[in-house]
Structure 1
Amino acid sequence: MPIRIPDNLPARKTLEDEGVNVMDSARAARQDIRPLEIGLLNLMPNKERTETQFTRLIGSTPLQVDLTLVRVTEHQSKNTSEDYLKAFYKTWDEVREKKFDGFIVTGAPIANIPFEEVRYWPEMLEIMDWTQTNVHHTMFICWGAQAALDHFHGAKRYRMPEKAFGVFRHQVINPRSPFLRGFSDSPMIPVSRYNDIDRTTLGPDLEVLIDNPEIGVSMLGDQKHRAVHFLNHLEYDNRSLADEYERDISAGLDTQPPANLYPNGDTSQTPENRWRSHAHLLFQNWINEIYQTTPYEMDKIGSGKE
């Protein structure tokens, strides 16, 4: 079954060209099934690129999914026009009464700002608490994961001596996790972050699922809060790290090329995607687990009767 997104969303053409089965509103209305309701809180500045990356992965499932694009209410985007946001996005205030089977909170390019100094931090606190009453299962990514780990668990982040930047081999710690079915033992995962989580502050409610002893924990299971926390970026496309590197160089920064991205380390060559299959596996597993466990009656989501 396909994914349903706004009919005129620019990501639609990209996905259709890639062979992703995308459904329009009229066709969806004829389907006599309950689709999974998935929300994407997009905190990244380039909304179109990020929504395409996540929609590509969500749309690979055989289940029908209705995707709602969400933005924080109290924040004015500098990189995406207000007309675009009004056309394709709902503010959190507009969806706060809605229930979702799954919800994704993306990263945000504010790694060096203390949480409490982020302009929309009060709303983020409300959203994170809201996931406990209105969402069956949440995936927090990068900055979103750091924020949720701090809020729910008091897990502390710290700034690393050097930015972790590139594609790094990780170890699957619990291959029996339903979210890691089909994963190889040591997947390659894109990483772009200045901060790591202090392992000594990870409490017993958290389970390390994917790890790298040198650059930090990659994925944590959080059964108590019906969530997973993914500190890195399996959703990235081939050019994400390369474009970040080129922006840094253009800005005069002394950034080293992303590790293990270019063939033979040659930045003049096309970046290699060594993580695509695991990205699809992660999202298919996540959506399948949601489908297997979410209530059919959506009013029961978050009620403790799941």
Structure 2
Amino acid sequence: MPIKIPDKLPATDILRGENIFVMSEARASSQEIRPLKVLLLNLMPKKIETETQFLRLLSNSPLQVDVELLRIDNRPTKNTPTEHLDTFYRQFEMVKDRNFDGLIVTGAPLGLVQFEDVLYWEEIQTIMNWAKEHVTSTLFVCWAAQAGLKLLYDLPKRTRKEKLSGVYWHRTHDCHNPILRGFDDSFLAPHSRYADFSPEYLAEHTDLDILATSNQAGVYLAATKDKRNVFVTGHPEYDVDTLHNEYVRDVGEGMEPNVPVNYYPDNNPDNPPIASWRSHGHLLFANWLNYCVYQQTPYDLEHFSEANFTKDE
């Protein structure tokens, strides 16, 4: 698909090298169509790596998508050059008066931090409340899913005793839900989190459609009935070596982590890992863009209104 991103963004050359159609801003402006406007709130420390992962998944659709990158605050980070942030990222004040077709909120390395101790918790609340009136559909990923459940359903933070890390089998529920269209009955997806999402707990305390679960990892995919909020507790965007890099990091810090489940051949970290979730990740994002964003959003974003949305297709 033609994904429109700034020409000098590091992801541009990476994606073009993968034969992904990255459209220049000049070429996009000549097309007689309205692209989908998607905002990516990147909470991960290594922003260049994370933005590339998500942009890759957003490329698997025939729709033209115009992606803007959003940062949570203006604090400097040791993992991303300040020049990159200043060049490619927006502050919330720059976008708050606009409407967007979609918003993606990434994970964050805050699994053991209480919500009230998160430095930017107030900013997260502000953006999520803003999204209710300015965004057609929001996709919450990993830590953001837990934050979204707290803000939308007042669910307390639930922390596992041990970190969940690995690639787990999941089964689908409600095969006629459009978010699951084309899914196999079972599929693999990576997890890397301390949060706990049991199907029983979410079923008891929310009205969410629970769409995919794992015996080991709990709820993986859930959504509101109007598809305006979609929760993904894992990391379909991960590169093949992301879990490996996290494992090596934790070993180096003396944390004695468990070897990621079902990730290395023969469960041996000396063996190069194999990606077994790419097809699922691309399909999930294509379905979100099509059924939760494109088929729900108004053509004219200036006339964004709750009346635009229906609970059924």
Fold shared, TM-score > 0.5 on shorter chain: yes
The residue that corresponds to 2:32 in the other structure is 32
* Within-5 A mapping of 1:167-246: 167-197=167-197, 199-200=200-201, 202=203, 203-223=205-225, 226-246=228-248
Query: Which residue of the other structure, out of 256, 269, 272, is the alignment partner of 2:271?
Result: 269
Deviates most, 64-73 or 296-305:
296-305
Say yes or no: does 1:255 pair with 2:257. yes
Quote the offset at 1:268 in angstroms. 1.7
Q: Single out whichever of 293-302 and 81-90 deviates more from structure 2.
A: 293-302
Q: Distance in 2 between matches of 1:173 and 1:74?
A: 41
How far apart are residue 161 of structure 1 and its match? Answer: 2.1
Q: Which residue of 1 aligns with 2:60?
A: 60
Counterpart for residue 109 of structure 1: 109
- In 1, Cα distance between equivalents of 2:35 and 2:227: 23
Root-mean-square deviation over aligned CA pairs: 1.5
Matched, 1:291 2:294: yes
Q: Say if 2:60 and 2:283, in contact at 8 Å, map to a contact too.
A: no
**Would you say the 8 A contact 1:44–1:107 is kept in 2?**
yes
* Displacement of 1:263: 1.3
Deviation at 1:303, TM superposition (A): 3.8
Q: Partners in 2 of 1:23 and 1:112 — Cα distance?
A: 40
The number of equivalent residue pairs is 306
| 2:46 alignment partner AA | N
Within a 5 Å distance, the mapping from 1:54-203 to structure 2 comes to 54-73=54-73, 75-197=75-197, 199-200=200-201, 202=203, 203=205
Q: Which moved more, 1:231-240 or 1:158-167?
A: 158-167
Q: Which amino acid aligns with 1:247?
A: R
Please state how far the C-alpha of 1:174 moved relative to its aligned partner: 1.8
SS in structure 1 at match of 2:308: coil
- SS of the residue corresponding to residue 268 of structure 1 reads coil
- Give the Å deviation of 1:293: 1.8
CA distance, structure 2, for counterparts of residue 232 and residue 95 of structure 1: 28
What residue ranges of structure 2 are gaps of 5+ in the alignment?
none
* Alignment partners' CA distance in 2, 1:172 and 1:75: 40
Match in the other structure for 1:282: 284
CA distance in structure 1 between the partners assigned to 2:75 and 2:305 by the alignment: 27
| Paired residues of 1:156 and 1:201 also in contact (CA < 8 A) | no
Q: Which amino acid aligns with 1:91?
A: Q
Partners of 1:216 and 1:75 lie apart in 2 by 34
- Asked whether the 8 Å contact 2:209–2:223 carries over to 1, the reply is yes
Opposite residue 269 of structure 2, the aligned amino acid is: T
Distance 1:274 1:97 in 2: 41
Structure 1 unaligned residues grouped into runs of 5+? none
Superposed displacement of residue 82, structure 1: 1.8
Between the aligned partners of 2:151 and 2:295, the Cα distance in structure 1 is: 28
The answer on whether the counterparts of 1:74 and 1:123 sit within 8 Å (CA) in structure 2 is no
Structure-2 separation of matches of 1:81 and 1:196: 33
1:224 Cα shift? Answer: 5.2
Partner residue in 1 for 2:48: 48
Q: C-alpha deviations, 1:283-302, integer Å up to 9, x for none?
A: 11111112122110112324
> Could you list the per-position Cα deviations for residues 178-213 of structure 1 after superposition, in whole angstroms to 9, with x for gaps in the alignment?
111111111111011112036435534211111113
TM-score between both structures, scaled by the size of structure 1: 0.96
SS at 1:256 equivalent:
coil
Q: In 2, distance between residues paired with 1:259 and 1:201?
A: 24
CA distance in 1, matches of 2:225, 2:16: 35
Opposite residue 294 of structure 2, the aligned amino acid is Y
